[in-house]
Each structure stands twice: as structure tokens, then as C-alpha cells.
Amino acid sequence: MIRWEGEAVVLSVRRHGETSALIDVFAADAGRYGGVVRGGSGRRLRAALQPGAVVQANWQARLDQHLGSLSLEPRRQHLGGVLDDPAALAALSSACALLLRALPERQPQPNLYAHSLLLMGALSAPGWAPSYVMWEMELLAALGFGLDLHCCAVTGVREGLRYVSPRTGRAVSATAALGWEAKLLPLPGILGGDMAQDSATDIHQALNLTGYFIKRHLFDGSAGAQTPEARERLARLFAPKAE
């Protein structure tokens, strides 16, 4: 018998038969795992069986390649404020969907797990949008596609950064970008750009930037690998409203 036990975040819940549920979790020390929760459709586990819930998970199977069974107990309660804020709930759904679809199965990601818990705590308070953007930056870095926005890729300067190369993911200063602006992505102030924007526009541009690299590196369209609808829905919430 193979087993592990530890803290985890619930990523998805699907009904399985009459009384069970298929659950995907992101565990601190084990990575992304799927399993069957017996009695998962009952009331006792309702609080634990929702995306974003932090639980104590126990997974076991006869062989490592088996789906395995999961038993869960609620561990932390941090979703109250999120459930009352439709935009925060959309951010939570987006984060869970990205983890579910992008993480390799059964590969530990302790740093990303820690940042995910920080994000879920931040979603319960006003002004959470910058935390979400930085979480997507952490997701890209954890999967080997981190952006280098600290200095200009051409000149090495750290001031006047205005753009990002869509090919390399590195920052470019306004001076170095002369004549090439149309081929580059805007670098919003929230991510270190030398741009004075109102917060809503800044968040919108930041989500466009991270979204570009998420789509390019994690969901390239092959084999149905498309950016999760939950992420697209969140981006639309921050898009400028037509007048």
C-alpha cells in the first residue's frame, strides 16, 4: 500500500457515482493528486469539498499508478469573504483552474503552494488584485517560465522600463524600444514598469501580460490545451468598460 498525508488545497470536485466524488488537490509536499472520496456527496464533507478549501488529506492506493482514494478533513477557513465578492471568487476559480490544468501530476511545488495560500488569504480583503497578478508571476516561475523584469534586456538599465519582449519575457526600456514599440508588450507599473496608470488599467495590462505568457507556455492550443475559461472570465472583469 502506498500513501501520503498532509495539508492540501482542493482544486476541483466532480460527482462520482451516487455517493462519491472525484477530487483533485494540490498538496504542500506531494504536488497535484487526484483521488476518490467515498461519501463525498454527503453533507458532512460539504465544507471541505469546494475549490480553494484547505484540508488535511490522506491518499492511499495499492500501486502508485492507481487513482487512489482520498479522505479529507477541513483545516482552515478562509473562504467566507471570498464567497461574498464575485470578483474575488472569480480569482479563486481562476487560480484553482490554472493549478489543475498546468501543474504536472505528483510533482511537489512547495514555494508555489505557499504563495497559493497567501493569495487565498488575500482574496478575503479589499485590494487583492495585485496579489493575484503576483501569484500568476509565481506560477510562471515555478513551471520554468519566469519573466525577467528587473532590467532592460538590451542596455541593462533599471530605469525607464516600459515594455516586455514577447519572445524572451525580458523587460525593455523606452529608449531601447524606439521603433519597435508595436512588437512589444506594455510593462505595467505594478510589475516594475515606468508607467503612471490608474489601478484598474494597470491591473488589466498586468493580466494581459501574464496571460500572454500563460497561454504561450502552458496552454499552447495543442491537444485541447486551452487557457481555462475561469482565467478568461477573470480577465474580462478587469477589461475597460465600453462607453
Range of the domain at 155: 79-243
What's the pLDDT band for 196 if we cut at 50, 70, 90? low
Domain boundary among 51, 77, 103: 77
What is the C-alpha separation between 200 and 23, in angstroms, rounded? 35
User: Does residue 107 sit in the same domain as residue 146?
Assistant: yes
Domain boundary among 77, 100, 116: 77
Burial of 109 (0-12, 13-18, 19+ CB in 10 A): buried
What's the pLDDT band for 78 if we cut at 50, 70, 90? low
Q: What is the value of pTM for the model shown?
A: 0.92
User: Does residue 184 sit in the same domain as residue 216?
Assistant: yes
The number of CA neighbours under 13 Å toward the Cβ of 70 is 30
User: Does residue 83 sit in the same domain as residue 155?
Assistant: yes
What is the C-alpha separation between 189 and 159, in angstroms, rounded? 12
What is the C-alpha separation between 226 and 158, in angstroms, rounded? 35
* CATH code of the domain covering residue 41: 2.40.50.140
User: What are the tens digits of pLDDT across the range 120-167?
Assistant: 999 999 899 999 999 999 999 999 999 999 999 999 999 999 999 999
Q: In what order do the strands lie in the sheet with 171-173?
A: 171-173, 161-164, 185-186
H or E segment to which residue 22 belongs = strand 20-27
What's the pLDDT band for 1 if we cut at 50, 70, 90? confident
Which set of grid coordinates corresponds to residue 36? 476518490
Which set of grid coordinates corresponds to residue 3? 500513501
User: What are the tens digits of pLDDT across the range 165-179?
Assistant: 999 999 999 999 999
Residue from 74, 71, 70, 112 nearest 95 by CA: 112
Amino acid at 226: Q
What is the C-alpha separation between 163 and 37, in angstroms, rounded? 47
Domain boundary among 33, 51, 77: 77
